[in-house]
Homo-oligomer: A and B are copies of this chain.
Amino acid sequence: MTSLVNDLEAPPHIIRDLASQALAEDIGPGDATSQAVISPSVQAAGQFVAKQAGIMAGMAVARQCFQQLSPKVHFATLKQAGERFETAEVLAEVEGAARALLAAERTALNFLQRLCGVATLTRQFVDATAHAKAQIADTRKTTPGVRALDRAAVRAGGGKNHRRALYDGILIKDNHIRLAGSIAEAVASARSNVHYLFKIEVETTSLDQVREAVAAGADIIMLDNMSIEMMHEAVAIIGDQALIEASGGIDLSNVAEVAATGVDLISVGTLTHSAPSLDISLELRPVP
């Protein structure tokens, strides 16, 4: 039984809408240069070439950019989401009306370079924790507007997705606890108010809070910005009474240590808020 939800591309309707919005942002009422310089009848072809090694993500939205401008564009995907590629490898080939290719080029590359960057960084975290049970997960720290794409890129990199948004999960954070009065009150309130299908996660920053969360019956306990030592203690306190998530201040230099504490899940904001763009080029040539 293989992983099902981890389809490695975002849902088609979201890809379609984001490509359309991004093309509107960059093309608006028209591509002034190409319309002035390239005849409508010119055909062109070209290759997407990796300038760095990495993990593929975002090919579906890149392809969509071209196809929205001209349904006749031929786009051949050579690397699928989740596949590794080396410097100078050809990732995809495109052929069609030159004006359409030129108008979509930058938008497609903006998506592709960002998303390959996210997938590549995610894979580094996954590889760094390969021998532990802990899974690497994303957070809601995404660039507004493209979360569904960022999440798919994390999956392509081998990571897990956390909740999508505020509407599909209960995560009681520090601010909720302060405003609700205590962990106990917050958890009780959550339990009596939400529908029956939600579990309850509580964010903790001290061992006392960890104990409170256990006592309150939290299903998942997040250890936020704790030292490695404190995490060890927390894991011991919790045992199998709840799932354990580590979060905050985790980077490639310390993620293996975090995983070694025995947590179940490590969520990493850096995956989506600070992954550097991966360099990819598209060079076009005329075709008869």
Q: Are A36 and B4 in contact (CB under 8 A)?
A: yes
Q: Are A273 and B277 in contact (CB under 8 A)?
A: yes
Q: Are B107 and A144 in contact (CB under 8 A)?
A: yes
Q: Are B145 and A194 in contact (CB under 8 A)?
A: no
- A26→B29 CA distance, assembly (Å): 11
Q: Are B29 and A164 in contact (CB under 8 A)?
A: yes
A254 interface contact, C-beta 8 A: no
Q: Are B176 and A196 in contact (CB under 8 A)?
A: no
B-chain residues with CB within 8 Å of residue A163 when the two chains form the complex: 195, 197
Q: A205 to chain B: closest CB distance in Å? A: 11
A95 interface contact, C-beta 8 A: no
A234 interface contact, C-beta 8 A: no
Q: How large is the interface on A (under 10, 10 to 19, 20 to 34, 35 or more residues)?
A: 35 or more
Q: Are B148 and A146 in contact (CB under 8 A)?
A: no
Instruction: Please give the count of copies of this chain that the complex contains.
Output: 6
Q: Are A145 and B21 in contact (CB under 8 A)?
A: yes
Q: A25 to chain B: closest CB distance in Å? A: 6
B-chain residues with CB within 8 Å of residue A197 when the two chains form the complex: 163, 168-171, 198-201, 219-220
Give chain A's interface residues, CB within 8 Å of chain B.
1-7, 11, 14, 18, 21-22, 25-40, 42, 44, 46, 98, 101-103, 105-107, 109-111, 113-114, 117, 140-148, 160-176, 178-180, 185-186, 188-190, 192-201, 219-220, 243, 245, 264-265, 269-270, 273-274, 276-277, 282-286
Would you give 18 A-B contacts (Cβ < 8 Å), ordered by A? A1-B189, A1-B192, A4-B35, A4-B38, A7-B40, A35-B193, A36-B190, A37-B176, A37-B179, A37-B189, A101-B175, A102-B175, A103-B166, A161-B195, A162-B196, A163-B197, A178-B284, A197-B220
